[in-house]
Amino acid sequence: MLPQLMKVRTLTPLMTAAVMMAVSVPARSEETPGVKAPAVAAPAAAKPENKMPETPADVAAAPADAVKTQTGLASKVLKPGTGDKKPTAADTVTVHYSGWTTDGKMFDSSVKRGEPTSFPLGQVIAGWTEGLQLMVVGEKRRFWIPEGLAYGPVVEGSGRPGGMLCFDVELIAIKEISKPPADTKKTAGGVAYKISKEGAGEKPAAKQVITFQFVAKTMDGEIVQDSHGEPAPPSVPLDKLPKELAELFMDMKAGEQRQCWLPESRAPGGFIAADLELISFKDALPAPEVPKDVAAAPADAAKTASGIAHKVLTAGNGKTHPKATDTVKVHYSGWTTDGNMFDSSVTRGEPAQFMLNGVIKGWTEGVQLMVVGEKRRFWIPAELAYGPAVPGSDRPGGMLVFDIELLDIGK
Hey, which residues does 143 pair with through a beta bridge?
A: 75, 167
- Long-range contacts made by residues 58-61, C-beta under 8 angstroms, separation at least 24? 58/142, 59/100, 59/102, 59/103, 59/104, 59/166, 60/102, 60/103, 60/104, 61/102, 61/144
Predicted pLDDT of residue 28: 55
- Asked if the domains at 34-175 and 185-283 fall in one CATH topology, the answer is yes
Predicted pLDDT of residue 392: 66
Average pLDDT over residues 214-228: 83
Predicted pLDDT of residue 177: 66
Q: Is the pLDDT of residue 130 over 50?
A: yes
Contact between residue 279 and residue 212 where contact means Cβ atoms under 8 Å apart:
yes
Instruction: Using a pLDDT cut of 70, give the percent of the chain over it.
Output: 85
34-175 folds as: Chitinase A; domain 3 (3.10.50)
DSSP 245: H
Q: Which residues are catalytic?
A: 332, 342-343, 360, 386, 402
Give, rounded to a whole angstrom, the gap between the first and last alpha carbons of the chain: 37
Query: pLDDT tens digit string along 13-48?
Result: 344 434 343 434 555 544 332 334 444 333 334 444
Query: pLDDT tens digit string along 41-97?
Result: 333 344 444 578 999 999 999 999 999 999 999 999 999 999 899 998 878 899 999
The candidate with the shortest Cα–Cα distance to 12, out of 228, 196, 269, 186, is: 269
Predicted pLDDT of residue 234: 86
Average pLDDT over residues 291-306: 97
Query: pLDDT tens digit string along 351-360?
Result: 988 899 889 9
Report the CATH number of the 185-283 domain: 3.10.50.40
d(CA 139, CA 171): 6
Average pLDDT over residues 277-288: 93
Total-model pTM: 0.55
More confident residue, 45 or 322: 322
Residue 295: partners with Cβ closer than 8 Å, 6 or more residues away: 337, 338, 339
Q: Is the pLDDT of residue 241 over 70?
A: yes
Predicted pLDDT of residue 89: 85
d(CA 98, CA 119): 15
Contact between residue 194 and residue 181 where contact means Cβ atoms under 8 Å apart:
yes
Confidence of residue 267 (pLDDT cuts 50, 70, 90): low
- Three-class secondary structure of residue 269 per DSSP: coil
302-410 folds as: Chitinase A; domain 3 (3.10.50)
Q: Is the pLDDT of residue 9 over 50?
A: no
Predicted pLDDT of residue 265: 57
Average pLDDT over residues 338-358: 90
d(CA 129, CA 108): 18
Domain ranges (residues) in the chain: 34-175, 185-283, 302-410
Torsion, Cα 120 125 128 133, to 10 degrees, reads 60
d(CA 48, CA 87): 31
Average pLDDT over residues 149-155: 89
Average pLDDT score, the chain: 85
